[in-house]
Structure 1
Amino acid sequence: MRDPARALVEFGERSGGEVVKLNLGSLRPYLITHPDHLQRVLREKSDNYVRGGDGLQWRPLKRLFGEGILGDGEHWTNSRHILQPLFTARRIDGLVDRLAVAIEEAIGELEEPARTGRPVDMGKVQAQIVCSATMRIFFADKITVPDAMRIMQAQDAIAWSVMPRILVPWAPLAAPMPGDRTFRRAVQLIDDLLLPTIRAARATADDDVDADDIISTLWRGRTEDGGRLDERQVRNDTVAMVATTTETTISVLTWLWPHIEQNPAIAARLYEELDQVVGDQPVRREHLRELRYTRQVLDELLRLYPVGWLFPRMAVEEDVIGGVRIPAGATLVGSPMITQRMSQFWDRPEVFDPDRFSPELVRSRPKYAHFPFGGGPHQCIGMHLFYLEATLIVATLLSRFRLRLCRNVVPGIKVAAALRPLDRVEVTLRRVQGVAA
């Protein structure tokens, strides 16, 4: 309990990549850490390993997200069928320049603290940047940035408040637990902010056939059998997509700034790449494919800090994994945070080293040694968006500013429903000379 992140990684180390059973009282899940075993569970036999049910993690979070894109079965199939076209690589690539302009305008708000030397909280800065861009591009400004920021705060409260129920998953939902009141207040706030917007969008969705924002698409979309989603599922998917399009970028980048300050050689390579590729121009689509080292830095951040750190599954039918019999109804747990920090699969796993994602090393590594967005049919549909959005933010910020930490410490990990930095990262900004505002 003092350091759950370290304890979980130690469980993985002790397992040696074998399938083991964890003794968590009345819940005894199988811990799956080997890339081959993870591939079987998440991809090859995904139909047999479902994420629904009342097991670890899903039951407490279902009170927020309900049935839909973050569920399983028919509801998930319908939501995925409707939303997937919005997040294809081709479509996201077509939005890059609009996304770049929105990010550039939001980062422009940092000119004042850079001029005055006022410290800024990078978690809040990133939330402002991501919300400004995402609400414009994916929600057509139906959700205002101030409302989106309030939703982000509510999501933070929820991520922490559900931990008692994740740690004690056998407790009945009717039994009061620490965090329940915070959870209910946060969910109510999200519904108060989103439901009027969702209902208003319903009236215009069919008339405006060119509207391709998430809420209009959900209302206008057809399920595989030709039906429509009801209001509850549109609400569930809207809440889920607000989280999916914002959470990873906001949280993961918070760890970037202390890591590059503590590693001057890595910072120098980032700056050099940005100078060569972007120079004093605004960051645009044509630059992104050339920012290869920047992508390696992001992959290394995701290795150490996968926001979605826990992937529980329930076995529908009996199976055998790594020579271990898995009975029907058993709970299995895979964790990117564990596998991605195991010395069996990574050299010096505690070291921040983007070179481990050079193309030749990536090709030689098992696919599921690095799976921060899950895998198989349930792989996060926002993965491609994260890489584009995060690259644009890093490239735009570092093309215009140099950041100096107020306290040169890499924050620890707060294990919640989604990983969070344990402490704030405050920086002062210095304008890069010769770069146009």
Structure 2
Amino acid sequence: MPVNVLQNAASIPVYRGPARFARDPLGQLEAISARAEGAIVRLNLGFFRPFLVTRPDDVQHILSGNAGRYVREGMLWQPVRRLTGNGISGDGPQWKASREVLRPMFAARHVAALTQTLADTVNEAVDGLDEHATTGRPFDLVKAMTRVADLALGRAFFGGGIPSADGERLGQAVATAFTSLTARMLLPFAPSWAPLPGDRAFRRAVRTVDEVVYPLVAQRRLQSDGDDVVAMLCQVRDGAGQPLDDRRIRDDVVGMYVAGTETTAVALTWLWVALDADPAVAERLRAEVERVVGGERPAAKHLPELRYTRMVIQEVLRLYPSGWFLPRTVLESDVVGGVRLPAGSTVLLSPYLTHRMPSLWERPHVFDPERFAPERAGARHRFAYLPFAGGPHQCLGSQLFMAEAQLVVAAMLSRYRPRLRDDGPVRPRAAVTLRPSRRLAMTITRGER
């Protein structure tokens, strides 16, 4: 395969072409990133030749300093938008309008008001695992964490208006949609009309999402108040003083819900994998939960004292960022790090790779929550750590995620002693989000209080 050099960017061909890249994209990208040592490189994937950008200064230039030149179009965004619509998950004027509407709903004050409701729902969801403590029967970890995230965020987004059966349908549909997009992600040059594996399952999942969400929007319009996201969107008026239409509300709710539930479920899954591999960290974490929560049920009041819990979650997001890659399309030609990026080309930013660069992180592959001790935060480049992206598109729900994740960890460890069944090594798998390479089975026993 020929090496294609574009000005100062080395084009690194993937050995034996796209097929090998499709089999092990993370391994290929890690090898290329190590070889490049932060320099921008152009990947040669046959019909698709994106630029790989990992250095924090360059990432900041694209996500923040010159964000208007880099849009969320093309790879990943086009297929995902068939699920999430054109609102908060899109770009341009519609995205900007949606962000302005949603921003106050995810501000610190409103998240604080939601936190006790979130705590109650998390406790209820974790209670649902109790039969496994009684029987000793293992359960699917990914499915369990997905159910917890679905229940918790479902209450925040839809209030008490979503029946449990609909919540289960919605959560399963979102999970199916994400897992069925892998082929589209790995073959971004394939036209939308060409059938690929997963397309049929994806279409069914989108229909299910619509069947659940549209009736909920109609129901919430009939109510005059409510502090859940759908109810608040139903009360919003646009610039002309008109209420938002059903499609607009559907797109913004689904966009935020999809991002929140998938990210949370995947991150919590990796947290238990990391703890199972590091008993010392697990024991220190358990000791903090026992000291702070004691015999109570985890509540909003406990969050400020769960400091080490927060550090552990931050380190999990460093090693296993759910959004492991952030593609952008170059709208206007630009120069980044001395490299000319022509209009129409694709740039791949990867928190997964940036978070593992030896020049930025000491012993980058070692799980070490102490990296996130408060006194060490100021030493990092602000774009060396980006589990929630950055710039104008930085995730609105990061505070809600952190509160939920801390509560789930506290609820699990205050009740149970979780263990993963040893079925072999677990590696990250590059799907739309960073999922485990195999099914994970967990067992729980009741802890002593």
Measured against the shorter chain, the TM-score band is over 0.9
1:296 equivalent in alignment to 2:296: no
Contact 1:69/1:240 (8 A) holds in 2? yes
CA distance 1:226–1:48, shift in 2 (3 Å): farther
1:395 equivalent in alignment to 2:416: no
CA distance in structure 1 between the partners assigned to 2:374 and 2:33 by the alignment:
26
Residue of structure 1 in register with 2:343 after alignment:
328
User: Residues 44-123 of structure 1: matches in 2 within 5 Å?
Assistant: 44-52=65-73, 55-123=74-142
Aligned length: 428
Contact 1:128/1:149 (8 A) holds in 2? yes
Residue of structure 1 in register with 2:163 after alignment:
144
User: Residues 12-411 of structure 1: matches in 2 within 5 Å?
Assistant: 12-52=33-73, 55-202=74-221, 204-205=222-223, 208=224, 210-224=225-239, 226-407=241-422, 409=424, 411=426
Residue of structure 1 in register with 2:25 after alignment:
4
Offset at residue 330 of structure 1 (A): 2.4
The share of aligned pairs that are identical, in percent, is 45
Offset at residue 321 of structure 1 (A): 0.9
- SS of the counterpart of 1:118? coil
- SS of the counterpart of 1:212? coil
Tell me which moved more, 104-113 or 327-336: 104-113
Tell me which amino acid in the other structure corresponds to 1:379.
Q
CA distance in structure 1 between the partners assigned to 2:23 and 2:296 by the alignment:
47
CA distance in structure 2 between the partners assigned to 1:169 and 1:269 by the alignment:
44
**What are the Cα deviations for residues 380-435 of structure 1, in whole angstroms up to 9, with x where unaligned?**
1111111000000101110111112222655322211222222232222221222x
CA distance in structure 1 between the partners assigned to 2:293 and 2:216 by the alignment:
39
Q: TM-score, normalised by structure 1?
A: 0.92
- SS of the counterpart of 1:368? coil
Offset at residue 361 of structure 1 (A): 2.9
Residue of structure 1 in register with 2:7 after alignment:
none
**What are the Cα deviations for residues 194-231 of structure 1, in whole angstroms up to 9, with x where unaligned?**
222223333x15xx0x3222222223212355444332
Residue of structure 1 in register with 2:435 after alignment:
420
Offset at residue 65 of structure 1 (A): 1.5
CA distance in structure 1 between the partners assigned to 2:421 and 2:262 by the alignment:
24
CA distance 1:154–1:105, shift in 2 (3 Å): closer
Offset at residue 190 of structure 1 (A): 1.7
CA distance in structure 1 between the partners assigned to 2:240 and 2:45 by the alignment:
42
Contact 1:336/1:371 (8 A) holds in 2? yes
Tell me which amino acid in the other structure corresponds to 2:80.
L
Contact 1:270/1:293 (8 A) holds in 2? yes
Contact 1:51/1:72 (8 A) holds in 2? yes
Tell me which moved more, 93-102 or 68-77: 93-102
CA distance in structure 1 between the partners assigned to 2:172 and 2:94 by the alignment:
27
Contact 2:106/2:396 (8 A) holds in 1? yes
Offset at residue 303 of structure 1 (A): 1.0
Offset at residue 30 of structure 1 (A): 1.4
RMSD (CA atoms): 1.9
CA distance in structure 1 between the partners assigned to 2:241 and 2:67 by the alignment:
26
CA distance 1:173–1:218, shift in 2 (3 Å): same
Contact 1:68/1:236 (8 A) holds in 2? yes
Contact 2:156/2:229 (8 A) holds in 1? no
Tell me which moved more, 304-313 or 156-165: 156-165
CA distance 1:105–1:180, shift in 2 (3 Å): closer
**What are the Cα deviations for residues 221-263 of structure 1, in whole angstroms up to 9, with x where unaligned?**
1235544433222222222122123111111111222321221
Offset at residue 346 of structure 1 (A): 1.8
- SS of the counterpart of 2:255? helix
CA distance in structure 2 between the partners assigned to 1:123 and 1:177 by the alignment:
25
CA distance in structure 2 between the partners assigned to 1:8 and 1:226 by the alignment:
49
